[in-house]
A and B are shown apart, each in its own frame.
Chain A
Amino acid sequence: MRNRLKVLRAERNWSQADLADKLDVSRQSVNAIETGKYDPSLPLAFKIAKVFGLPIEQIFSDDEVAQAAE
């Protein structure tokens, strides 16, 4: 699964620690999600969408769908 977390975070000038605080997770967890090493659960994905004020599909996308779009 791909995500735009890093870009969205940069647009808001948030550090990984800022985002981690807002999501109530560890900074390491934010880093693992951003680098694609960990796919969040659905509840956490919804929480991320809520923090950014965006629908989930504008943050996360399926690998195959993203590749096809490219």
Chain B
Amino acid sequence: MQRETNPKIISNARRYAGNMIVACVLYTVFVFAGAYATRIDDLPRWVLIVAALAPLLPALLMLRAYVIFLNGIDEFQRRIQTEGVLIAAAVVGFGTFAYGFLEEWAGLPHLPLLWVFPALIAVWGLAVCVLRLRYK
């Protein structure tokens, strides 16, 4: 398989990887710090709220990195990415909707909402891989 040689595309991908690594490191730090904070007794509620919402900041940095990446790719690549996002939104949206009914009416075990966003990212990644193969 031939590799990409366009310097603009390569530098855009590198910048995306760099921004994502920074956001992922921050996310890991915030999650571990938050989990540690919940184990400390008698912490004020506002501290726990701040600790719980802190991982959102690096998650927003990930979103920012993705938007910058999206603006730096060509129209065909952008189509693959947006199709991937649409597929992920549909799969996770309908999946969680269906599971909500199953939880309420069929007694299936409760799943925390925390898993919705990672599921979205996972399905989006998988969808982009499948779409890339389809257009190969």
Contact = CB atoms under 8 A, between A and B. Distances in A.
Nearest to B12: A26
B13 to A, nearest CB: 10
A38 B83 CA distance: 13
A41 interface: yes
B5 A29 contact: no
A6 interface: no
Interface residues of B, number: 17
B52 to A, nearest CB: 40
A66 interface: no
Given A31-B136, A32-B135, A17 B74 contact: no
Interface string B7-46: 0110000000000000000000000000000000000000
Contact of A21 (B5, B134, B135): B5
B6 interface: yes
> In the complex, which of the residues B74, B77, B135 has the most CB atoms of chain A within 10 Å of its own CB atom?
B74
Contacts of A38: 76, 79, 135
A27 interface: yes
Contact of B6 (A21, A32, A40, A44): A21
B2 A32 contact: no
A32 B76 CA distance: 8
Interface in A18-68: 20-21, 24-29, 31-33, 37-38, 40-41, 44
A44 to B, nearest CB: 6
Interface of A: 15-17, 20-21, 24-29, 31-33, 37-38, 40-41, 44
